[in-house]
Each structure stands twice: as C-alpha cells, then as structure tokens.
C-alpha cells in the first residue's frame, strides 16, 4: 500500500472521529469497599448481589433516557444527552439504595457517583475522550452515598432545573496537573424519584454474545411461525372464512370482533407474564429456537429423503373433504361476474388467498373456478390466462387441499421435545 493510500485512510478515519464528537453527560458509579463484599458473601452470592445492583441501575438509567455504555468490574458507565436527567438518575440510584438499606441493612451497598459534561467521541458501543477520564476521576473522589458533579455540569443545572448542590471544592485528579472544581449533590433534599421505576427488570442486561443469540432465537421462531401459517393455519382460516360467507353480515363482523378481542387479550396476558417473569420469557425464546430446529430437521428429512425413511410417514391422518382455490399470481387478480376476461369485475384477491370453490366452467380457452364471493353471491377466477403473442400461458390459481400426514405429527412431536430442551437448558449470562 502506497503513501497516498495510507493518507486517504487516515483522513477518512479522522473525519469519522471528528464527526463522532458530541457533548454528553457521563455518569460513573462504583461500589465502595467492594472487596469486603466478595469476602463477606463469597464469590457466587456476591456476584448475585452485584448483578441485582447492576440491573436496578440499568432500569434507573433507562427510565431517565440514559444509555448504559459498559460495566467495568463493580463500576457502571452511562451517558445522557440531558445533564439534568443524568443527575436525577444519580439521585434516584442513591434513593433506591437508601430504601434497600431500610429493608436489609446488612446487605445494603454504598455507592459513589460522579457526573461530568463534556465533549467526547461517541461511538455505537463505547465512548472515548478526556471527558470519560474526568467523570471517572470525579467518581473516585467521592465516598459511598455521595454524588459529585463537575463545574461544567453544575453550570448547566443552574440554567435548567433546581438541583441541591453544596459549595464546591477543588482537587487534582489522578493523572492530571490542573485542579478540578466539583460540587456535592445534596440528594437527600430532593423529592422522591424512584416511584414507578421497575425493580431490576432489565432482563436484557446480558453479555453481548448472548444478545446476539437471543436475536437468532427470535429469527428462528419468526421463521417457524411463518412456516406454520403457510402450511397449516391459513387453510383453517380460509375454510372458516368460506363457511362464514353464508352467515349474515352482522354475524361475520361479530365473529371478527370476538376473535380480535381474544387475540388482544392473549397478547396482553402474555406481555404481563413476560414482564413479571423475564427469565421464563428468555427461556421460552431458547425453547422456541429448539422447537424450530427440531421441527424443520424432521419435516425436511421426511419430505426430501423418502427413500431412506419409513414409507408410512406419508400416511394421511386428516384432510379436508373438499378443495380450496389458492391464488398463486403476484399481480392483482380480478374476480369476475362471469367466466370471461371481458366481464364485470366484482372484486380483487392477492397471492396466497384461499377461496371456496363451488363449480368450474370453461370460457375463452381458459378454465375458470366459480367461488363463493359474498353471501349468496358468486364470482369467477381464472385458473390460467391464455398465451398471447410474445407472452406464455400464465397460471392464476390452483386447487389445493389440506392434508395432515404422519410426518407432520412427528415434526410437531420433535418440536415439542426441542422446546423442552431449550427451556430447561437456558442459562442467563449477566453482563
């Protein structure tokens, strides 16, 4: 690589770094005398205490629109766009710790907090710059139960909100030559801020690798849901819709409202359970992943390796006693009043729709399916469009019938076993 290429790369990186410089407010927390914590409780119990402590800090930081950047041992680093919200988050942390001490004085932690506002290089997963070093040194200058705020942040607080600050003091931070002026926040005088903040429900506070695994689990579950809908559920919904066309319009709307209300109710109950039991929800994600893997392995093996696997896996267990008409063309397909491309259009359908056939007819060199369109109303949809000069014959629809085979039941059985495996073997790996 020549000198000019090195210069171009260097200039590009320089432009990126300069464009990443932003004014942010940084918050550092650290547990005072954490060594005694590990000595007192032992490794496992102390790690659980720190994990619960971090989860609550994550919840508080998120409640004040902050972003947790990383944890460094027992230390937490977070950033805020608004300095007022940063100091309020610090106050809320101390208020929560005070409440914890009331309930269990022996297990209560003392935390020192430092807050500083300045320019830093803000990247997706980290923040760099002297502002980070200053915020860290400010936190080190405090004691357990204290909040120290730099003069830069204090000046912004006076302009925007009342925060009780005690007269400033100066000290020379470690690694610095100039004195730094800081103010102590008299947080005990501030009104309550922790009411309504969830107690440590930041259940996605896991290591980065496990977050990626959870995304893979979600993708696998989504793929399984789409597959189940395409191959199973839509047949039952299409058959249900075909039968309800015979009902009065009021009954059709009432059924739709009941089904929608039931779906929303189930979604609400599921959300409440996930919020109340986040670990079970995460276990369920891995269970869904196991179900997806198990289902597709068996389904694909039985579908594409028939010579190797037993022949009775293709035996029919259940099927509809009638066909449905499936639309297979991407373009808008018209429903017509009679079996002719020149007849009146009475409706449109899209690819994947299932229609209930009544009869078939021939017209204009094409075969047409007569389908039930509305109550006591029928329409025609072409199976094919005749070929034209320069255009081949186009297939519009086809007859399909739902069939449930032994291999489908075997796939569902293995999927259930895969779900149980994933649910049982899931382990949370905290950040």
- Both tokens assigned to 359: 């009869």
Residue 385 lies in a domain: yes
Q: What is the pLDDT of residues 338-371, one digit of tens each?
A: 888 888 888 888 888 888 888 888 776 678 888 8
Are 238 and 378 in the same domain?
A: no
- What's the rounded Cα separation, in Å, for the pair 359 and 352? 20
Q: What is the pLDDT of residues 377-402, one digit of tens each?
A: 788 888 877 777 666 777 888 888 88
Beta strands at 165-171 and 354-355: parallel, antiparallel or unpaired: unpaired
Helix axes 34-41, 43-63, angle to 10 degrees: 130
**DSSP assignment, residue 391?**
B
Residue 315 lies in a domain: no
Are 44 and 89 in the same domain?
A: yes
In terms of average pLDDT, the best of 169-183, 219-233, 314-328, 385-399 is 219-233
Residue 4 lies in a domain: no
Are 168 and 195 in the same domain?
A: yes
Are 162 and 132 in the same domain?
A: yes
Q: Which residues pair with 369 in a beta bridge?
A: 360, 381
Beta strands at 111-122 and 147-150: parallel, antiparallel or unpaired: parallel
Lookup result for tokens 């464009």: 19
Beta strands at 127-128 and 111-122: parallel, antiparallel or unpaired: antiparallel
pLDDT at 149: 92
Give the number of other CB atoms < 10 A from CB of residue 65: 12
Residue 319 lies in a domain: no
- What's the rounded Cα separation, in Å, for the pair 165 and 149? 8
Are 239 and 338 in the same domain?
A: no
H-helix or E-strand containing 54?
Answer: helix 43-63
Range of the domain at 284: 209-309+406-425
Residue 283 lies in a domain: yes
Residue 431 lies in a domain: no
Q: How far is CA 14 from CA 22, 121, 129, 356, in A?
A: 15, 11, 14, 65
Are 243 and 183 in the same domain?
A: no
Burial of 360 from C-beta contacts in 10 A (0-12 / 13-18 / 19+): middle
Among 330, 332, 320, residue whose Cα is nearest residue 402:
320
First to last CA, the chain: 40
The total number of structural domains in the chain stands at 3
Are 372 and 418 in the same domain?
A: no
Q: What is the pTM of this model?
A: 0.58
For the ranges 21-35, 98-112, 301-315, the lowest mean pLDDT is seen at 301-315
Lookup result for tokens 């005070």: 98
Residue 267 lies in a domain: yes
CATH number for the domain including 374? Answer: 2.30.30.40
């Amino acid at each position: 690589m020549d000198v000019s290429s090195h210069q171009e790369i260097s200039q590009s990186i320089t432009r990126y770094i300069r464009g990443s410089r932003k004014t942010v407010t940084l918050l550092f927390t650290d547990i005072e005398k954490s060594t005694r914590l590990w000595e007192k409780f032992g490794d496992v119990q102390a790690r659980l205490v720190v994990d619960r402590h971090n989860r609550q800090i994550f919840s508080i930081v998120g409640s004040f629109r902050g972003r947790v950047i990383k944890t460094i041992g027992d230390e937490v680093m977070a950033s805020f766009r608004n300095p007022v919200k940063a100091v309020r988050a610090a106050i809320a942390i101390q208020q929560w710790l005070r409440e914890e001490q009331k309930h269990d004085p022996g297990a209560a932690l003392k935390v020192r907090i430092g807050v500083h506002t300045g320019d830093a290089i803000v990247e997706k997963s980290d923040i760099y710059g002297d502002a980070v070093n200053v915020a860290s040194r400010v936190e080190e200058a405090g004691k357990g139960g204290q909040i120290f705020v730099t003069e830069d942040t204090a000046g912004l607080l006076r302009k925007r909100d009342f925060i009780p600050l005690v007269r400033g003091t100066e000290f020379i931070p470690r690694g610095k030559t100039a004195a730094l002026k800081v103010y102590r926040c008299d947080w005990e005088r501030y009104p309550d801020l922790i009411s309504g903040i969830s107690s440590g429900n930041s259940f996605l506070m896991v290591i980065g690798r496990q977050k990626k695994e959870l995304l893979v689990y979600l993708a696998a579950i989504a793929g399984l849901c789409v597959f189940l809908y395409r191959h199973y559920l839509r047949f039952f919904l299409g058959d249900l819709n075909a039968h309800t066309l015979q009902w009065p319009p009021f009954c059709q709307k009432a059924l739709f409202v009941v089904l929608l209300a039931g779906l929303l109710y189930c979604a609400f109950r599921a959300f409440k359970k996930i919020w109340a039991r986040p670990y079970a929800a995460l276990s369920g994600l891995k269970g869904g992943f196991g179900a997806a893997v198990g289902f597709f392995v068996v389904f694909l093996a039985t579908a594409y390796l028939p010579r190797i696997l037993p022949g009775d896996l293709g035996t029919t267990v259940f099927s509809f006693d009638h066909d449905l008409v499936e639309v297979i063309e991407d373009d808008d397909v018209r429903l017509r009043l009679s079996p002719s491309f020149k007849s009146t259009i009475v409706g449109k359908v899209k690819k994947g729709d299932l229609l209930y056939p009544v009869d078939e007819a021939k017209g204009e060199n094409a075969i047409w399916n007569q389908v039930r369109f509305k109550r006591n109303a029928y329409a025609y949809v072409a199976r094919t469009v005749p070929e034209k000069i320069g255009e081949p014959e186009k297939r519009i629809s086809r007859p399909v019938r739902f069939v449930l085979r032994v291999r489908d039941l075997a796939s569902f059985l293995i999927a259930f076993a895969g779900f149980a495996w994933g649910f049982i073997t899931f382990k949370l790996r905290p950040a």
